[in-house]
Amino acid sequence: MREIRLARAADARVMAVMSRELIEAGLGWRWTPDRVRGALRDPDTNAIVACAQSRPIGFAIMFYGETKAHLLLLAVAADCRRRGVGRALWEWLLASARIAGIAEVRLELRAGNAGARRFYSRLGCVEGATLRGYYAGVEAALQMRYSLHRDAAPGPSAGGAGEDSHTR
């Protein structure tokens, strides 16, 4: 059984460690527990955690502007990928974005992360520019975006199943 819930201050450390190990590996540690706690306090940011039997197995953090949202982080534990966890986190955030009147979600991922690229493409995200040196000046990022106006029905209309990645 899996549940998705709003993240709490007590989740900040595990979220930060997952970010360091699954997203920021080799880049230093920018999403520290203090920074995650700051995101949790930000009224323009949603942070959610996916749990299985009370164990955090994934999380996501998204900032909401007036018409655009920015997916800052999305990670799924390696042993829980390809089970719909990432898609469930994404869909939860998209539902919130629709309610907030958001028109587009943007994100960046490591340009060399083929798994993340496939994952977001399957969700219906469109590739954009490549940003050289985006990560710590050593690694490029690929920008992607998802238009919420492209699908009239609630929920993304992207096909395919897959679960093998995260942003950043």
CATH number at residue 17: 3.40.630.30
pLDDT of residue 138: 86
Query: Is residue 155 in some structural domain?
Result: no
pLDDT in tens, 83-133: 999 999 999 999 999 999 999 999 999 999 999 999 999 999 999 999 999
Query: Is residue 166 in some structural domain?
Result: no
Q: How far apart are CA 144 and CA 128, in angstroms?
A: 5
Q: How far apart are CA 89 and CA 77, in angstroms?
A: 13
Query: Is residue 146 in some structural domain?
Result: yes
Distances (CA, A) of 15 to 82, 131, 138: 20, 26, 24
Query: Is residue 158 in some structural domain?
Result: no
H or E element in which residue 141 lies? strand 139-147
Query: Is residue 165 in some structural domain?
Result: no
The boundaries of the domain holding residue 118 are 2-150
Query: Is residue 80 in some structural domain?
Result: yes
Distances (CA, A) of 71 to 29, 43, 59, 110: 18, 15, 11, 14
Query: Is residue 88 in some structural domain?
Result: yes
Query: Is residue 13 in some structural domain?
Result: yes
Would you say residue 10 has pLDDT above 80?
A: yes
Would you say residue 31 has pLDDT above 60?
A: yes
- The total number of structural domains in the chain stands at 1
Span 61-70, average pLDDT: 96
